[in-house]
Chains A and B, each alone.
Chain A
Amino acid sequence: MTHDPFPQGTPPHPLGNPVARREGREKVTGAARYAAEHTPPDCAYAWPVPATFARARITGVETSEALALPGVCAVLTHENAPRLDSTDDPTLALLQEDRVPHRGWYVALVVADSLEAARDAASAVRVTYESADHDVRFRAGHPGLYEPESVNGGFPGIRERGNFEAAYAASLIKLDATYSIPPLHNHPMEPHASTAWWDDGHLTVYDSSQGATRVRDDLAALFKIGKGEVTVVSEHVGGGFGSKGTPRPQVVLAAMAALHTGRPVKLALPRGQMAAVVGHRAPTIQRVRIGATTEGVITALAHEIITYTSTVSEFVEQAAVPARVMYAAPHSRTAHRVTALDVPSPSWMRAPGEAPGMYALESAVDELAVLLDIDPVELRVHNEPETEPDSGRPFSSRHLVGCLREGANRFGWLPRDPRPAVRREGDLLVGTGVAASTYPVFLAGSVAEAHADADGGYRIRLNATDIGTGARTVLAQIAAAALGASSEERVQIEIGNSDLPPAMLAGGSAGTGSWGWAVHRACTELAARLRDHTGPLPAEGVTVTADTGQEAAAKSPYARHAFGAQFAEVQVDTVTGEIRVRRLLGMFAAGHILNPRTARSQFIGGMTMGLGMALTESSGLDAAFGDFAERDLASYHVPACADVPAIEAHWLDERDPHLNPMGSKGIGEIGIVGTAAAIGNAVHHATGVRLRDLPLTPDKVLPHL
């Protein structure tokens, strides 16, 4: 890009400043209202009834006992619930038929005057089933495995370059290792919740969602009404990690119940039901084969995934896709197979594809480094590609080597004795590990409106969503910079409402880039209008609208990805098998960092989630019952503060003109990518034991010490 995208900015403009979150005070004082905290007059409360079989047909629903309880208004079942039109998301076809595709699928919804009455009555709904044998046992060699045409994100299921098998067979150095990751749960702090009501044919919903525009569109389709007859508000959202990317059952059920009863209805999913209905990361078994020269040049690379999906919809975790981006290898094969089981439907969870895929790939690269006796940082540097290996496209920017070098420097990587199991402190073994991170740049069209008041204030309107990342704050910074204001303080931001101009959801690490682009354009045009204007502004001010649909849809000639390197130091207790991370350092190259304060929060949040994936987070399907055994935060172990003693995130300030006017890449997901491999590699360095099945809990570690 030859011109300065922020010509109005009188340096230093507010972009790049560590501005504090605008709504921080409201959030910490409880003044910020979340979806379940809106209580319209005469509001009723709903409680869902989950199926108790994993594969069944409902033969009867006896509701009279529940309806006779005090305060109960209605029980919705597939026999009396409003009929919905189908959409492309079959998980939203709720209470429409007698089929039960997995345990926990909703078979009824109780509506009552109070939450307690609804909950009590839900236990009085008697559902009878005709059940069939179910299969929830995901395993290598499952007879139902097939090759999907495409995987999540629209990527092809299989890619082959050259002749992997021949090149691998001819390699002097061969690595063949298989890694596995159990199902993982998003578990945002705020559960999925909605408050819905109908008023003269217009549906209004407060929903905990990562994107109210998509929720509005789907509700309009489901209820066969115009988009103009639906308003979805997602003003504050307590995290989503992908599980609120598209509408989830609570919003459809709340709207159905409100329609059925004629009252506002509030529904907050209980934590214990979430695992079955809001999506989760599917388990993967990943085989990585690498052929290399004795000098450490990778000549052949195969990354082959098996995973599961539900019988409701096909979702294939694209874990082999990052291997198409990372390392030069003339011969490669990246492939996915999937089997449909009687399990809850998997969906997006923070860095789908990259998070699990890079665990396996980056562990395998570390194993190769050990085989070759080459420093794992150097091995990665040796295999840095000229262009994106799979597509041949040039990278818009790629500073993986810079991240490895600078991260190693800050971490104190060298001098490093590569020998495993030689650093002992009493009962503890200590080691260090490194892994690379990557995440693609996605951008989607958005519409933004920029308005200048007669009195010198500005207002930006678009349906962006703040899921806790600080969206309002950074959008105000972008707007102020484009407007030539030295501070963002006079810029009001209105987001989180589907009546606003439509915008990209907060997902795919694409929110800030997509919204910011539209905001930048609207503000740049507004600034030009104001410059050309003489005399005082009209009383109604000046408004400009920008739509980036066309630019965002244009295919870039560049391969666009963020990169990073993560370094971990761990201690392994030889008495108990307990692993604790002592230090975690992430070094990222993700374009221009627009707000260091909120960016750091995103990076270390992702890294902490990666630590959980490595060491503590584990879920499994109960073979007999077909549901997840770990369904609350006491049994599904997300890391506690005590697990994260010293965590640092840093970045190279990358200048990339091929992205968007701000020069930013997404940062919401890359933090979780590579963390688990860095930790697993450090565990090998500490103990000499290569464990390939996450999480690395004491029961798995202790037998090897």
Chain B
Amino acid sequence: MKPFGYLRAGSVEEAVRAGADHPGARYLGGGTNLVDLMKLGVEQPPLLIDVGRLPLDRIEERPDGGLRIGALVRNSELAAAAPVRDRYPALSQAVLAGASGQLRNTATTGGNLLQRTRCTYFQDTSKPCNKREPGTGCPAREGAHRDLAVIGHSEHCVATQPSDMAVALAALDATVHLHGPEGEREVPVTEFHRLPGDRPERDTVLRPGELITAIELPPARAAAHSCFRKARDRASFAFALVSVAAVLEVRDGAIQYAALAFGGLAHRPWRARAAEEVLVGAPATQGTFGRAADAELTAARPLPENGFKVPLARNLTVGVLADLAARD
């Protein structure tokens, strides 16, 4: 572990100023991933800016019926909050599907979005990794990649984004609120994480010094149902092999609205627009659900060891949508 500076920010503005003034500085929230990576030598920030005491820890109702979740709301609180459980069950389920009780008590909403891939090469500084050290190569393609990406990856990187929460947020059309040296802006969650392309070292569109201050959820559709389902190697404390978050509204047997996102497949939570196109207006049948999944997954390019993720994603899609359709 390299020596590093520590600054406790008294305000968002102070934090952002410090972030802008210290290239390479990292904001410290719950620290559940960042501190691990510092111990491994993967992250070597010269300065940690502790934002843990900033007043960003509340869940607020919005006038339009949406919900604003402060970036420092702990994962446990988020999952347990009544408005989240009542109106956005997929989000509550996704958060509870992640990590362990102890980690969820510490991890923050903003930090959860920013957790790094668990690709074993990324986490091992004795090996090449384009994400950690651009230009060194990607050994995962020939090596251990059972858990890695099948869609949207590049020759430079096959990492997956590990957050379950982000998958639900992607299906729920959430927006990330950012505060940076040049002011505030909002980015849809679906555009917050990048695909690796030839710049896999950049996980997100965050600009230097920008701090996540909140996540905003639009009003939940009154007639829709949502849920999250995750397939994994053990019953808790395991990252998704594949996960699915879905919002579905059916009237008179026809699909009025559908939003679908996958986890475990890509470098970002994978919003399945092609599948949604098939779904909307079609009858809510197994056949439709399967065609929708196929429409999305036709773009999958699995590696030798992770081809199982494609049929798994298809099965989960059909299962989850059938379950939601049956609730009306």
**Do A and B assemble together?**
yes
Chain A residues engaging chain B, CB cutoff 8 angstroms: 50, 52, 116, 119-120, 123, 272, 427, 575-578, 580, 615-616, 620, 622-625, 629-631, 634-635, 637, 639-643, 697-699, 702-703
Q: Are B234 and A640 in contact (CB under 8 A)?
A: yes
A-contacting 9-mer, from B45-53, B106-114, B308-316: B308-316
Q: Are A120 and B144 in contact (CB under 8 A)?
A: no
Docked complex Cα distance between A639 and B237 (Å): 9
Docked complex Cα distance between A576 and B118 (Å): 22
Query: DSSP majority for the B interface?
Result: loop
Q: Are B126 and A52 in contact (CB under 8 A)?
A: yes
- B2, B3, B308, B319: which contacts A699 (Cβ < 8 A)? B308
Of B100, B118, B126, B239, most buried by chain A (CB within 10 Å of CB) is B126
Q: Which residues of B contact A634 (CB under 8 A)?
A: 118, 237, 239
Q: Does B143 contact A (CB under 8 A)?
A: yes
Q: Does B11 contact A (CB under 8 A)?
A: no
Question: 4 closest Cβ contacts across the A-B interface?
Answer: A642-B235, A576-B231, A629-B144, A699-B308
Q: Which residues of B contact A576 (CB under 8 A)?
A: 231, 312, 315-316
Q: Does B232 contact A (CB under 8 A)?
A: yes
Q: Which residues of B contact A616 (CB under 8 A)?
A: 233-234
Write the nearest CB–CB distance from A297 to chain B, whole angstroms. Answer: 40
Q: Are A643 and B1 in contact (CB under 8 A)?
A: no
Chain A, residue nearest B139 (CB): A624
Given contacts A622-B143, A703-B308, 8 further A-B contacts (CB under 8 A): A116-B3, A578-B232, A580-B235, A620-B144, A622-B144, A625-B143, A640-B234, A699-B146
Q: Are A577 and B231 in contact (CB under 8 A)?
A: yes
- A116, A639, A697, A703: which contacts B1 (Cβ < 8 A)? A116
Chain B, residue nearest A635 (CB): B120
Q: Which residues of A contact B144 (CB under 8 A)?
A: 620, 622, 629
Given contacts A620-B144, A629-B144, A699-B308, whether A120 and B3 have CB atoms under 8 Å apart is yes
A-B contact pairs, 19 of them (CB 8 A): A272-B40, A576-B231, A576-B315, A577-B312, A615-B234, A616-B234, A620-B144, A624-B139, A624-B142, A630-B120, A635-B118, A637-B238, A642-B236, A643-B234, A698-B232, A699-B146, A699-B306, A702-B308, A702-B311
Given contacts A52-B126, A575-B319, A702-B312, whether A640 and B143 have CB atoms under 8 Å apart is no
Docked complex Cα distance between A575 and B146 (Å): 19
Q: Does B69 contact A (CB under 8 A)?
A: no
Given contacts A120-B1, A635-B120, A641-B236, whether A578 and B127 have CB atoms under 8 Å apart is no
Chain B, residue nearest A272 (CB): B40
Q: Which residues of B contact A643 (CB under 8 A)?
A: 234-236
Q: Which residues of B contact A702 (CB under 8 A)?
A: 308, 311-312, 315
Write the nearest CB–CB distance from B99 to chain A, whole angstroms. Answer: 9
Q: Does B241 contact A (CB under 8 A)?
A: yes
- A580, A641, A699: which contacts B241 (Cβ < 8 A)? A699
Write the nearest CB–CB distance from A574 to chain B, whole angstroms. Answer: 8
Q: Which residues of B contact A641 (CB under 8 A)?
A: 236
Docked complex Cα distance between A676 and B69 (Å): 45
Q: Does B219 contact A (CB under 8 A)?
A: no
Docked complex Cα distance between A120 and B44 (Å): 11
Q: Which residues of B contact A622 (CB under 8 A)?
A: 139, 143-144
Q: Are A578 and B118 in contact (CB under 8 A)?
A: no
Chain A, residue nearest B40 (CB): A272
Q: Does B188 contact A (CB under 8 A)?
A: no
For B25-50 the 0/1 string (1 means CB < 8 A from A) is 00000000000000111000000000
Q: Which residues of B contact A698 (CB under 8 A)?
A: 231-233, 241, 308, 312
Docked complex Cα distance between A640 and B231 (Å): 15
Q: Which residues of A contact B232 (CB under 8 A)?
A: 578, 698
Given contacts A623-B143, A637-B238, whether A697 and B233 have CB atoms under 8 Å apart is yes
Write the nearest CB–CB distance from B76 to chain A, whole angstroms. Answer: 16
Chain A, residue nearest B125 (CB): A123
Q: Are B237 and A640 in contact (CB under 8 A)?
A: yes
Write the nearest CB–CB distance from A468 to chain B, whole angstroms. Answer: 21
Write the nearest CB–CB distance from A576 to chain B, whole angstroms. Answer: 4
Residues of B212-258 at the interface with A, using a CB-CB cut-off of 8 Å, are 231-239, 241
Write the nearest CB–CB distance from B136 to chain A, whole angstroms. Answer: 13
Docked complex Cα distance between A641 and B143 (Å): 31
For B1-14 the 0/1 string (1 means CB < 8 A from A) is 11100000000000
Q: Are A629 and B143 in contact (CB under 8 A)?
A: yes
- A116, A625, A703: which contacts B139 (Cβ < 8 A)? A625
Residues of B163-194 at the interface with A, using a CB-CB cut-off of 8 Å, are none
Docked complex Cα distance between A119 and B142 (Å): 30
Q: Which residues of B contact A615 (CB under 8 A)?
A: 234
- B120, B239, B319: which contacts A427 (Cβ < 8 A)? B319
Given contacts A576-B312, A578-B232, A624-B142, whether A123 and B118 have CB atoms under 8 Å apart is no
Write the nearest CB–CB distance from B189 to chain A, whole angstroms. Answer: 24
Docked complex Cα distance between A629 and B2 (Å): 25
Docked complex Cα distance between A634 and B139 (Å): 20
Write the nearest CB–CB distance from B56 to chain A, whole angstroms. Answer: 27
Q: Which residues of A contact B40 (CB under 8 A)?
A: 272
Write the nearest CB–CB distance from B103 to chain A, whole angstroms. Answer: 10
Docked complex Cα distance between A400 and B268 (Å): 54
Q: Which residues of A contact B143 (CB under 8 A)?
A: 622-625, 629
Write the nearest CB–CB distance from B323 to chain A, whole angstroms. Answer: 10
Chain B, residue nearest A581 (CB): B235
Write the nearest CB–CB distance from B95 to chain A, whole angstroms. Answer: 16
Q: Are B235 and A640 in contact (CB under 8 A)?
A: yes
Q: Which residues of A contact B318 (CB under 8 A)?
A: 575
Chain B, residue nearest A122 (CB): B41
Chain B, residue nearest A638 (CB): B234
Q: Which residues of A contact B305 (CB under 8 A)?
A: 699
Docked complex Cα distance between A697 and B306 (Å): 12
Q: Which residues of B contact A116 (CB under 8 A)?
A: 1, 3
Docked complex Cα distance between A643 and B234 (Å): 7
Write the nearest CB–CB distance from B83 to chain A, whole angstroms. Answer: 27
Docked complex Cα distance between A702 and B238 (Å): 18
Q: Which residues of B contact A703 (CB under 8 A)?
A: 308, 311
Write the nearest CB–CB distance from B143 to chain A, whole angstroms. Answer: 5
Q: Which residues of B contact A625 (CB under 8 A)?
A: 127, 139, 143
Q: Which residues of B contact A123 (CB under 8 A)?
A: 41, 125
Given contacts A120-B1, A625-B143, A629-B143, whether A639 and B241 have CB atoms under 8 Å apart is no
Q: Are B308 and A637 in contact (CB under 8 A)?
A: no
Docked complex Cα distance between A702 and B319 (Å): 14
Given contacts A575-B315, A642-B236, whether A629 and B120 have CB atoms under 8 Å apart is yes
Q: Which residues of A contact B139 (CB under 8 A)?
A: 622, 624-625
Write the nearest CB–CB distance from B148 to chain A, whole angstroms. Answer: 12
Q: Are B231 and A637 in contact (CB under 8 A)?
A: no
Q: Which residues of A contact B235 (CB under 8 A)?
A: 580, 640, 642-643
Q: Which residues of B contact A577 (CB under 8 A)?
A: 231, 308, 312
Q: Which residues of A contact B125 (CB under 8 A)?
A: 123
Docked complex Cα distance between A698 and B232 (Å): 8
Q: Which residues of B contact A640 (CB under 8 A)?
A: 100, 234-238
Docked complex Cα distance between A640 and B318 (Å): 28
Docked complex Cα distance between A187 and B102 (Å): 20
Q: Which residues of B contact A639 (CB under 8 A)?
A: 234
Write the nearest CB–CB distance from A424 to chain B, whole angstroms. Answer: 15
Docked complex Cα distance between A641 and B234 (Å): 10
Chain B, residue nearest A580 (CB): B235
Chain A, residue nearest B320 (CB): A575
Of B100, B143, B305, B318, most buried by chain A (CB within 10 Å of CB) is B143
Q: Which residues of B contact A699 (CB under 8 A)?
A: 146, 241, 305-306, 308
Q: Which residues of A contact B316 (CB under 8 A)?
A: 575-576
Docked complex Cα distance between A518 and B25 (Å): 62
Docked complex Cα distance between A697 and B234 (Å): 9
Residues of B116-162 at the interface with A, using a CB-CB cut-off of 8 Å, are 118, 120, 125-127, 139, 142-144, 146
Write the nearest CB–CB distance from A116 to chain B, whole angstroms. Answer: 5
Docked complex Cα distance between A639 and B234 (Å): 7
Docked complex Cα distance between A640 and B238 (Å): 9
Docked complex Cα distance between A52 and B124 (Å): 11
